[in-house]
């Protein structure tokens, strides 16, 4: 299964979610390939730190800065893996379009902030331009950097706004803004691999991953 973490907007948590998902799925015994399609190479850098530190399981990871190479190599190599996780840069690029063409599930993270909510309309257009020419793409909107407060009005309002965009299926599996996510990802570790793991972060990630991989099965 190919899961894309993509958005036309930068800084929404694509790399964080992609790295955490790849590590968690590899730890669950899946044969995983993390593909970094962003010339910034943040996912690749995180996995390099992991490899240098000798952390297992090792994660297969490739960086394709060129959109054509990204498309060709994903097409050629995808069947050698059970889970292919695509992380693409936060702009409206050919790599994002190719990712949307090839993915089974596209996950679109957004923060409960007005700039991010506006950007969801741009991303919806990018998704629609692809779903006009292909079938079977499941597109999920996931709140990231949610406010920690249980009954946050900002979280509720943002969820409501995104639920109103029919291009996305809103996934009730938010990641709260937690230091554990940034610290772990920056070190090439899963949140569950940190010393004294943040149990809430681990539970949120588990729920997100279970929901993402169930989404495809449900709709197939």
Of 2, 4, 8, 14, the one binding ligand ATP by CB under 6 A = 14
Task: Examine residue 177 and tell whether it contacts ligand ATP (CB under 6 A).
Answer: yes
Give the footprint of ligand ATP on residues 112-151 (CB under 6 A).
144-145
Q: Confirm or reject binding of residue 95 to Mg ion (CB under 5 A).
A: no
Contact at 8 Å (CB) between 83 and 58? no
Among 37, 41, 90, 190, binds ligand ATP (CB under 6 A): 90
Find, among 153, 121, 132, the residue nearest to 141 by Cα.
121
Selected binder of Mg ion within 8, 13, 15, 74 (CB under 5 A): 15
Cβ distance to ligand ATP smaller for residue 6 or 161: 6
Interacting stretch for Mg ion, rule CB under 5 A, among 39-47, 60-68, 102-110, 168-176?
39-47
Place of tokens 């803004």: 177
Between 162 and 217, CB nearer to ligand ATP:
162
Q: Is 29 left (phi over 0), alpha (psi -120 to 50) or beta?
A: left
Give me the helices (H) in the chain, please.
Answer: 14-27, 42-52, 67-77, 94-102, 114-131, 153-163, 179-186, 199-219
3-state SS class at 121: helix
Contacts with ligand ATP, residue ranges (CB under 6 A): 10-16, 38, 40, 42, 89-90, 144-145, 175, 177-178, 181-182, 185
């Amino acid at each position: 299964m190919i899961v894309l973490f993509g958005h036309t907007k930068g800084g929404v948590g694509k790399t964080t979610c992609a790295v955490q998902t790849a590590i968690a799925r590899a730890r669950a015994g899946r044969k995983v390939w993390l593909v970094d399609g962003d010339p910034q190479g943040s996912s690749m850098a995180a996995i390099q730190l992991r490899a240098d530190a000798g952390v297992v399981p090792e994660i297969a990871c490739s960086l394709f800065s060129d959109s054509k190479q990204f498309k060709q190599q994903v097409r050629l190599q995808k069947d050698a893996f059970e889970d292919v996780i695509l992380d693409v840069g936060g702009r409206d690029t050919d790599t994002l379009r190719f990712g949307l063409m090839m993915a089974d599930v596209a996950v679109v993270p957004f923060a409960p902030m007005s700039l991010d909510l506006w950007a969801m309309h741009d991303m919806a257009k990018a998704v629609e331009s692809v779903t006009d020419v292909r079938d079977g793409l499941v597109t999920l909107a996931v709140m990231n950097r949610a406010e920690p407060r249980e009954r946050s009005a900002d979280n509720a309002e943002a969820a409501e706004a995104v639920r109103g965009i029919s291009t996305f299926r809103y996934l009730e599996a938010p990641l709260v803004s937690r230091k554990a996510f940034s610290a772990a990802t920056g070190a090439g570790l899963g949140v569950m691999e940190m010393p004294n793991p943040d149990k809430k972060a681990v539970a949120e990630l588990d729920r997100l991953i279970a929901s993402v991989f169930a989404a495809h099965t449900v709709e197939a």
